[in-house]
Structures are given as structure tokens and as C-alpha cells.
Amino acid sequence: MDEWAFEQPQTDTPWQVDTLREGSNSRKTVTDWTTGVVTLEIVDDFGKVKDSDHGLINGSIAREWWSIHPDDPLSAHGRTHWTDELEREGIALRTEATSEMSCDATHFHLKARLEAFENDELIFEKDVQRSILRDNL
């Protein structure tokens, strides 16, 4: 029987950060007992850290909601809300991106919004809305 011995791997120094907000993850299924709609709620908080070398602060949170009524495929609905943050020495940048997806018998419906903030002042916003023919899908 042949045996192999490998050398220890070489690694670099781990990224040095100060944690400003711990990350967390959540998955929940919620049933609305009045309507019968079932929703999967996903929240991924990736935390917020400050780079110990150059001081850049970054953080992000992703939130998603996927819902459907078990007896109605056309009730499928998805919604997302993502927040990304960058900060350094007197400037704080943040984007808020939201989207929604739904359908009916003939079309897929998409809606999205992007907002960009500098020091909590809205400096850019854009809305997009489209309906796409299902074309036998």
C-alpha cells in the first residue's frame, strides 16, 4: 500500500479586523393560517467589521421572503432587501436594493429599486419595473 506524506500548507496572516456587529443567520417558515400562504423568511446579517490595517468599515445584510399558497402556483411571490455599507474617516456610504417577483397566467412581473446614500443623504435612486411574457412557461 502506498502512503503519501504532504508538507504543511503555507498560510498568510489572517485578516485582522475589529468586529463592530456580529454576523447572524436566520431561516423561518411562517404560515398565515387565515390565507394559507406559506412564507420562507431568510435573514443573513454578514456583520460589520473594521479593517485593522487601513480602517475601512464594511457590512451587509440580506433579507429574502419567498411565499406561495400551496394550492395556487400563480401566487408565488419573492421579495428581497439587501443593505451594503462602507465607511471611512467621515464618509458613510450605503446602498439599499429591493426587488419583487411575481407572476400571473401570462406574465412574470419584476420590480426593483436601488437607493444610494452618502452620510445618510439620498444621492441616487432608480426604479425598474418590467413584465415579461411567460411564452408557454
CB–CB of 118/99 below 8 Å? no
Q: Where are the domains of the chain?
A: 41-133
Residue 137, pLDDT score: 67
- Helix (H) or strand (E) holding 26, with range, is strand 24-31
Collapsing DSSP states into helix, strand and coil, what is residue 131? strand
Residue 111, pLDDT score: 98
| Regions of the chain where pLDDT drops below 70 | 1, 137
- Take residue 69 and report the three cell numbers written for it: 399558497
